[in-house]
Chain A
């Protein structure tokens, strides 16, 4: 057995142990409910016997029956609530764990996986586990004790019938085990189909304008239909397994019911049996005997989903993030200046495409600007991603004021750096909220100051709601230059000593580029700046310049 499988098993075992604790009250109430049901059935049988034999109603029995019914109804409500609570508590805990793990793993995840896929783990995987906690675990606790309780009650009335019930009941788990061969695989495939559908749809919806304007909406609809059809087929495969185990149960119950009915019919006819109440008692209990097994069989697919979910969750990078990001006294440098050093750094994203950085060394002294030039794909962005702590170098050392970047706690690193990328991610919300993202405790005055410094104030003033104007997801309503200014305002607000600029003007026209660079120049004052760009205008930004070619230094030290 390989390691991943072992880890999945361990995870499931741990979760089951946790779930048993919260499911114990549910199972207990279930047992209590079954006891009450036995009592009710006894009442019903006694009432009928009295009617059959003496043609008289028994008031005491009927009153007991009613009282037990009310108790059962109340108990069912309580059990329901307990199951829901158990399910939601577990989901809350797990979603927390997943989200923490994803946030801790950070941006390097996006190199390999689509954000919709990651979100689906956090949302749908965890949601699918509800059945495991709220249904499967209680049902599996009750699947043996519930029928056993009824078998004991039947034993008192008719030992032979009890034996028959137990024998037919034992068929159920055997048939389920047979039906469940390959079920885990089917469930995994179903979820993979769902994830593919989601990632595809999200991706297409984000670019829906591109699709519609290219006249390809119909083709995409067809592709979506194919993805949907695949999901349907996969879902039906999982359900067929669940149906088979339910059918096994139906079968066992039908055998028991028909067999017992015929047995009692003959016994009563022959006069071997004198108490018809007993026969009725046993027959009426047959559905009750199979009810816990029915829940068990119905919840079987919840267990399958849990197995698949376990694999996805175990596969997540381990680690958790600190709660409130406390202000740690860490190896950091006072805002005055950060000196950056790269010593023989190597990093490979994808072995097939060769190293992104291949033995790169350079130094950027505190308070100075370093322009990294080079064609697209030369490794400029990778340099910045290392400095941001998104990835670690495979080899070599990256230092900030002499401290190896690997030894600096992430929060400290985050405090030291401000970053402006090629295309800032803007969230749906107001302009103000988007700027405040850089520093939640900033006052409105701080924000207005940052807005002015980023030269966003003129644009904002022309808007009907000023800084409270809504921006759509991905910066809808803003031009590329305006979106970049929001990013600059964020950087001003953050006020970090090391400024990392990743082709900040790549999507801008020359006029806007000049304006944005002007704002950046003001932002750069008194900070260490590393600017990656191949734009000629950006190269006039000032400072020293190095040229990268295929992850290596091509030319250096051209003083500005």
Chain B
């Protein structure tokens, strides 16, 4: 229940439209019940007292019911979808705040399932739970008051049956289906992950003849999902049947009582039928609520869970200086793995061009991650412009440093959009200059769509080397005063590599450059060289 309440709390900005939906819905339900009751009253009146109730009222109720029902549907659905759209954006923000270092062991498909399936499962929270519950409370009062006016005993019986059908049964169904809801959300996510695995890896799947295996996995996951859905459907069916029997018992009670007071009996019968009909969906909604609760838990877990590198409560303003300094840093990604750095001290003065050399696994990428506050050292300090990173806001730090990492992602968008990620206001001249510096301008110039060429999923429409250079151009385009270039020339041939370093010297005039590499070509203009080994940095000859 708690996750659902937290989701409701997130929807507080939409309180007005959500409340409006409930009010319109109550009016529509009221009209519908009144219409049927009035029909009964008309017959009873005509038969027993020889009078006819106002027929204009009946017509008005008929029109009112039709119009109000339409607006109820419109208002409640519009409010729901607005709230769901808000939730999706909130989810993305929360996820982004916790994923500066990438998804890690989380699955992209699982996150997608949370964004799509789990958020969608929450539509029932308002539409099928809150709105009918409000109607149930209104109808319970109406039923008890109208019948209790002349026949208190019958009113109590009707009230108990109505409460059982609209409140007790949904509650029981919710509790009973708790496990099912969790299974259902998990199964849906697993199915999507399996399908995405097979489809993203279509090349591997074909090369290794894994089609049959992938299909079998999807089939098994689908079977699990269908089994979970069956279980939920079974519970829903029983819950509905229970609610139906409550309604029938209430009708039976009215029929029995009718012999004493037939006129009111007719009215009570129509009222009872209409009231129970209006809340017939609630027990089913109780089952759905357990699904919604499980979905809410998954949404909250990914977007509001623990935050390892949360900003300090009152971050220090960003200093103007951009020198980087590592002081006696000790760091390990996982406690059970050996430390990457142990007593690392090195300095990158403002405006300097510094190379960091070292073999694979010496921690060159980790160094960049620490500089960008993707991770915090276990001991020691990292300083930017003299301020400890731990006291700065992460977003501020990242506005100063642009990083070309080994895992820099190309988005399924145009070349222009991919480049502008680094600088949204860059004009075409700036884009071409960056492409020129990354030795890619000539190639892009030959493309018929130029900067508007679509890059494809993870840069699939370009070769590995072209994609890498596009990522490099993006980094060079960034206005950040500090550039960290992690193997900018991996995958480039020797000629292109030399040409790049020759232009880098001009392209990044006045900026601090931290070049991470295995070896130097000799073309680079460098102020200082550090060599990483044994978790420390050793100054080497420039």
Contacts and interface: CB of A to CB of B under 8 A. Distances in A.
B457 A115 contact: yes
A214 interface: yes
Interface in A100-120: 100, 102-104, 106-107, 109-111, 114-116, 118-119
Contacts of B236: 80
B522 to A, nearest CB: 14
Q: Which of B61, B88, B230, B337 is the most central at the interface, judged by chain A CB atoms within 10 Å of its CB?
A: B88
Nearest to A260: B39
Given A115-B199, A210-B421, A509-B487, A264 B207 contact: no
A353 B447 contact: yes
A418 B208 CA distance: 8
B48 interface: yes
A197 B402 CA distance: 28
Contact of A73 (B101, B197, B244, B260): B244
A384 to B, nearest CB: 10
Given A472-B105, A511-B518, A261 B43 contact: yes
A481 B362 CA distance: 13
A424 B103 CA distance: 18
Interface residues of A, number: 163
B525 interface: no
Contact of A353 (B55, B81, B448, B458): B448
Given A92-B226, A377-B443, A206 B458 contact: yes
A216 interface: yes
Q: Does more than half of chain B's interface fall in helix, strand or loop, or is it mixed?
A: helix
B307 interface: no
Q: Which of B206, B245, B460, B518 is the most central at the interface, judged by chain A CB atoms within 10 Å of its CB?
A: B206
A110 B412 CA distance: 12
Interface string B260-286: 101101100100010001000000000
Interface in B89-137: 89, 92-93, 95-97, 99-109, 111-112, 115-116
Interface string B204-216: 1111111111110
A102 to B, nearest CB: 6
A303 interface: no
B490 interface: yes
B191 A481 contact: no
Contacts of B112: 116, 198, 201-202, 205
Given A250-B65, A511-B359, A476 B82 contact: no
A177 interface: no
Interface string A225-259: 10011011001100110011011001100110110
Contacts of A23: none
Interface string B408-441: 1111110000000110100000000000000000
Contacts of A10: none
Contacts of A214: 398, 402, 421-422, 478
B1 interface: no
A96 B219 contact: yes
Nearest to B113: A123
Interface stretch (B172-180, B464-472, B529-537): B464-472
B336 interface: yes
B47 interface: yes
A553 B310 CA distance: 56
Contact of A390 (B89, B203, B443): B203
Contacts of A463: 337
Interface stretch (A54-62, A309-317, A398-406, A444-452): A54-62
A55 B265 CA distance: 11
A536 B494 contact: yes
A48 B265 contact: yes
Interface string B37-57: 011101111111010110100
B71 to A, nearest CB: 9
Given A57-B256, A376-B465, 6 more contacts: A81-B233, A91-B222, A217-B92, A323-B212, A437-B208, A509-B517
Contact of A212 (B52, B84, B99, B199): B99
B43 A264 contact: yes
A218 B206 CA distance: 39
B10 interface: no
Interface in A67-125: 69-70, 72-74, 76-77, 80-81, 84, 88, 91-92, 95-96, 99-100, 102-104, 106-107, 109-111, 114-116, 118-119, 122-124
A88 B70 CA distance: 32
Nearest to A439: B208
Contact of B519 (A389, A414, A511): A511
A52 interface: yes
B491 A503 contact: yes
A207 B455 CA distance: 14
B127 to A, nearest CB: 11
Q: Does more than half of chain A's interface fall in helix, strand or loop, or is it mixed?
A: helix
30 contacts: A62-B252, A103-B214, A109-B199, A110-B457, A111-B456, A119-B109, A203-B457, A204-B92, A205-B108, A206-B458, A207-B408, A207-B410, A210-B407, A214-B478, A217-B92, A221-B96, A228-B88, A228-B89, A244-B70, A247-B66, A247-B70, A261-B58, A284-B273, A321-B212, A381-B463, A476-B105, A506-B490, A509-B360, A511-B360, A535-B491
Interface in A336-390: 352-353, 375-377, 380-381, 388-390
A498 B190 CA distance: 35
A48 B255 contact: yes
B391 interface: no
Nearest to B474: A214
B46 A232 contact: no
Q: Which of B258, B372, B402 is the most central at the interface, judged by chain A CB atoms within 10 Å of its CB?
A: B258
Interface stretch (B72-80, B159-167, B321-329): B72-80
Nearest to A324: B212
A212 B409 CA distance: 12
B69 A225 contact: no
A219 B421 CA distance: 9
A44 to B, nearest CB: 6
A243 B70 contact: yes
Given A52-B47, A203-B411, A279-B43, A507 B468 contact: yes
A104 B63 CA distance: 56
A57 B259 contact: yes
A551 to B, nearest CB: 13
Contact of B207 (A65, A110, A414, A470): A414
B208 A84 contact: no
B116 A198 contact: yes
Interface string B372-383: 101000000000
A474 B104 CA distance: 9
B398 A473 contact: no
B493 interface: yes
A329 interface: no
A174 B355 CA distance: 77
Given A207-B411, A353-B447, A511-B359, A388 B206 contact: yes
B515 interface: no
A199 B457 CA distance: 9
A427 B465 contact: no
A255 B62 contact: yes
Interface in A176-205: 194, 197-205
A199 B412 contact: yes
Given A239-B73, A250-B69, A481-B360, A473 B465 contact: no
Contacts of B494: 536
A51 B212 contact: no
A156 B201 CA distance: 66
B74 A243 contact: yes
A511 B517 CA distance: 10
A508 interface: yes
A503 B519 contact: no
B178 to A, nearest CB: 20
B122 to A, nearest CB: 14
Given A198-B112, A511-B519, A80 B93 contact: no
Contact of B62 (A91, A254, A323, A377): A254
B421 A211 contact: yes
